[in-house]
Amino acid sequence: MKRVFLALALLGLLCSSAFATEAIKEGRGKLSVSGSASFQRNDVEIDTLILATEVGYFVVDDLEVAVKAMGMMAEADGTDMTMMSGLLSMKYHVETESPMIPYVGPQVALVYVDYGIDDDTSFGWGGFAGVDFFVTENVSLFVEYNLLLAEVVGQDYMQHALNFGMSLFW
């Protein structure tokens, strides 16, 4: 039974490679949802949940301009923290002959952080790299590393996130 499932999965991968590159052509749109969680235990104990949604448009083949709304809820040593960001990004997708399409790009952000006793709004910037795995002509699953840098409440802020999500292309 495992061999049959594996054979069908491999056949699906081979068949899906033809349409993966069609999804990243000029004039196509994209809607994505993603999330991640982290549990850091260094000097400060931090538990984090990040949820995001993104809308993108391919201005030319392989180049997407996207707007993302991201929210983060965290608890750091018993203090609740909330962060909301609006991000603008450019993604360059590397065309391949497989259903896996890697991408990379820069981003700028407007970041609002509420530490419970203090809050701040600032501009941020960063970058990301990821890979879309197309499961159908218009649907992909993805994994993405995201780095966001900002100065909030007078302190340098650096967020590393490994996001998992799904995208719908039209």
Q: Is the pLDDT of residue 102 over 60?
A: yes
Residue 47's pLDDT is what?
80
Could you tell me the end-to-end alpha-carbon distance of the chain, in angstroms, rounded to an integer? Answer: 35
Dist. CA 81–CA 46, nearest whole Å: 10
| Backbone angles phi and psi of 138, in degrees to 5 | -120, 10
Give 137-163 pLDDT, tens digit per residue. Answer: 899 999 999 999 998 878 888 888 899
Residue 18's pLDDT is what?
58
Residue 9's pLDDT is what?
56
Give 113-123 pLDDT, tens digit per residue. Answer: 898 788 899 99
Residue 12's pLDDT is what?
55
Answer for the pair 108, 123: CB distance below 8 angstroms, yes or no. yes
- Which is more confident, 148 or 9? 148
Count of CB atoms within 10 A of residue 87's CB? 22
Residue 152's pLDDT is what?
80
Q: Give me the domains of the chain, ranges plus CATH numbers.
A: 2-169 (2.40.160.20)
The type of residue at 98 is S
Residue 48's pLDDT is what?
87
The predicted model scores a pTM of 0.83
Give 13-69 pLDDT, tens digit per residue. Answer: 555 555 677 889 999 999 999 999 876 555 666 788 999 999 999 999 999 999 999
- Which is more confident, 122 or 77? 122
Answer for the pair 85, 111: CB distance below 8 angstroms, yes or no. yes
Question: Mean pLDDT throughout 65-76?
Answer: 92
Q: Is the pLDDT of residue 6 over 70?
A: no
pLDDT tier at 131 (50, 70, 90 boundaries)?
very high
